[in-house]
Amino acid sequence: MFSLLRRMRRDERGQALVIGAVAMLVLAVTVMASVSIGHGVHQKIKLQDAADAQAYSLAVKEARAYNFLAYTNRAMVVHYSAMLTFMSYVSHALYLDMTIGKLAGVAKYIPGIGAIFMAVQKVIKAWKQAVDGIARLLIPILSALNVALWLAQEAMMLGTLKDLLLAGGESTLTGTDPKARPGPSMSNGSALGAIMGKYNVNHSNLKNFLHVIDDGPRGSDKTFSLSDPTGLARRARLMNQNDNKLSDPDMAKYRLLMGNLANGVRRQWTAEGKKALLIGRKWSLHLCVPPVIQFRIDKVADSQIKSFDEEFEDNRRDQLYASDDIKIEWRMPCPYLGGADKGWNEILKVNFRAAADKQGGFHQTYGTTKRDDHHTWEGITPFLMTDTSFVDPWHNHFSAACNVTILSKDMRTTPQPFHLDGLRTGKGFLGGASSGRFDDPGNDIVGGMLDITWNLAGGAGSQKAREFREETGGMMAMAVGRAIYHRPGDWKEEPNFFNPLWTARLAPAKTHWERNALSAFIEGWDAAENRFSDALNY
């Protein structure tokens, strides 16, 4: 018996089995932990991809809306320019009828060539009637088209607002990560709450999109008006004759901006005419009878949109105005040695003018006599314009609209990746509850944190950690999208809604200016703000 015991004590066989068992246990734990960590990293990548895709998608929608405003505003400018051109034809036809037509009416009695002048007179009168009739027809049509474009702008804005409310079930999310859902801070349980006064990320996104608009909310606004979130009612006052005063800055800014833009794109013939002797809108004729007298006949033209004060001529506020005027002057002697523009005396000035306005417009000939000719024009149509900001551009982004997407994903649902619950409960691999726990109460760490589950994500004893797990399910991702205005090359142009140069991109989260919202749901945000400010100051 004793010899057997001595043999067993000296026998070293089987030691490798014990070492191998321990090694296999460590290897198995390592492999399964790696699988679990890899699964978590993969899920976080998918969630971040979903957040990036959603933020970029929202930025694309914002840029698309802004570019739509630019295209429609440019179409309005083209329509106003076309209206001015038609009125120019009307005033020029008046001039031809009252000058060349009158001369042809006298010359038609000359034997031999009278038939030619009679034909000229008939052609001029037919031309006058044609352009007058076309102007009466097309100006209301173009005005109606501008109203339709404005209503399309408003519909685009309201539709984009709806798309910006991230409340769950969005195709971008489900297509990238089916388990992703908007974080609680996006809407606090209700997307509608964003426009009913609840301060949340949806509220921030809506405000960021609308604050670029001139009549949109300001950055300091905490709520939106359910009846007029985009400022539609304020712009619509332009359509109300009794509530449309040039002395009101809110009205003048629209009328003067659009009027100046339309005047700036006129063709030369529309704006001032081109030189064509006798029949053109612009020409000059000099006659000299040496050494007695010198005559000068100047033909000038003009066409523009004018905006008058509400007291002007019985409320003729916005006008499509065109003129073809003749001035005859003389001086003595000929040649005159005092200079080309000196010594002239006016003999006669004749005005051939046409206008369209709310009061029915007028035709004016021979001085100041006006007669109503029923050229009706409702005036400048409402449209959307920008309110660019140059105050603190680092945080206001030079009027670039930012949106924040915050997503969460419940990682506590089953099936989960490999669990080491024994380490957390103290009843598994390391024995009873009294032995084998690795507690660190000072750092809110409970034994078994290495179980690789999401039950204690963020810490065990921390109230914030528990709230984080309850609201997010253990995982969160954030992304910021931005609609920017940029012309390639040397960029010096102010952002506006007249050039379709808006595009979308992802932006660093640090660029977003809603500090209060970010600091509320990102622990350590304030400390990062301070470090960043110190770096800038340094």
Taking residues 268-293, what's their average pLDDT? 85
Please state which of the ranges 238-247, 289-298, 319-328, 460-469 shows the lowest mean pLDDT: 460-469
Taking residues 119-146, what's their average pLDDT? 93
Give domain status of residue 446, yes or no.
no
The residue among 263 and 489 whose pLDDT is bigger is 263
* Extended beta strands in 271-344, E state: 283-289, 293-307, 318-331
Confidence band, pLDDT 50/70/90 cuts, at residue 390? low
Give me the pLDDT at residue 431, please: 38
Give me the pLDDT at residue 194, please: 45
Please state which of the ranges 197-201, 247-251, 288-292 shows the lowest mean pLDDT: 197-201
**Residue 156, helix vs strand vs coil:** helix
The total domain count for the chain is 1
Q: φ and ψ at 171, to 5 degrees?
A: -65, -35
Give domain status of residue 492, yes or no.
no
Residue 478, Cβ density class (10 Å: 0-12 exposed, 13-18 middle, ≥19 buried): buried
Contact predicate 409/47, CB 8 Å: yes
Give me the pLDDT at residue 259, please: 92
Cβ within 8 Å of residue 509, ≥6 positions away: 404, 478, 479, 480, 518
**Structural domain of residue 129, as residue ranges?**
69-373
Confidence band, pLDDT 50/70/90 cuts, at residue 430? very low
Please state which of the ranges 202-216, 406-420, 432-446 shows the lowest mean pLDDT: 432-446
pLDDT over 60 at 165, yes or no: yes
**Residue 362, helix vs strand vs coil:** strand
Give domain status of residue 31, yes or no.
no
What value does the mean pLDDT of the chain take? Answer: 79
Confidence band, pLDDT 50/70/90 cuts, at residue 438? very low
Confidence band, pLDDT 50/70/90 cuts, at residue 239? confident
Please state which of the ranges 3-12, 206-215, 417-426 shows the lowest mean pLDDT: 417-426
pLDDT tens digit sequence for 75-117: 999 999 999 999 999 999 998 988 888 888 888 888 878 888 8
The residue among 244 and 282 whose pLDDT is bigger is 282
Share of the chain above pLDDT 90, in %: 23
The residue among 245 and 92 whose pLDDT is bigger is 92
H or E stretch at 370: strand 370-371
Confidence band, pLDDT 50/70/90 cuts, at residue 461? low
Confidence band, pLDDT 50/70/90 cuts, at residue 524? low
Q: φ and ψ at 282, to 5 degrees?
A: -145, 120
What is the rounded distance in angstroms from the CA atom of residue 120 to the CA atom of residue 180?
78
pLDDT over 90 at 73, yes or no: yes
Give me the pLDDT at residue 156, please: 95
Confidence band, pLDDT 50/70/90 cuts, at residue 11? low
Give me the pLDDT at residue 111, please: 82
Residue 245, Cβ density class (10 Å: 0-12 exposed, 13-18 middle, ≥19 buried): middle
pLDDT over 80 at 435, yes or no: no
Taking residues 49-73, what's their average pLDDT? 94
Give domain status of residue 368, yes or no.
yes
The number of C-alpha atoms within 13 Å of 491 and in the hemisphere containing its C-beta is 10
Query: CA nearest 319: which of 262, 247, 242?
Result: 262
pLDDT over 90 at 131, yes or no: yes
Give me the pLDDT at residue 396, please: 54
Give me the pLDDT at residue 426, please: 47
CA 194 to chain centre: 20
Which range of 167-176, 204-213, 434-443 scores highest in mean pLDDT? It is 204-213
DSSP string, 469-495: HHHHTEEEEEEEEEEEE--SSS--PPP
Which whole-number Å values give the CA distances from 391 to 222, 398, 506, 509, 510, in the listed order? 20, 8, 23, 20, 18
pLDDT tens digit sequence for 329-378: 888 888 777 777 788 888 888 888 899 988 888 888 766 677 888 888 98
Give domain status of residue 392, yes or no.
no
Give me the pLDDT at residue 177, please: 84
pLDDT over 50 at 173, yes or no: yes
What is the rounded distance in angstroms from the CA atom of residue 313 to the CA atom of residue 199?
50
DSSP string, 8-30: HHH--TTHHHHHHHHHHHHHHHH
Q: What is residue 213's DSSP assignment? A: B
Give me the pLDDT at residue 138, please: 94
The residue among 100 and 458 whose pLDDT is bigger is 100
Confidence band, pLDDT 50/70/90 cuts, at residue 176? confident
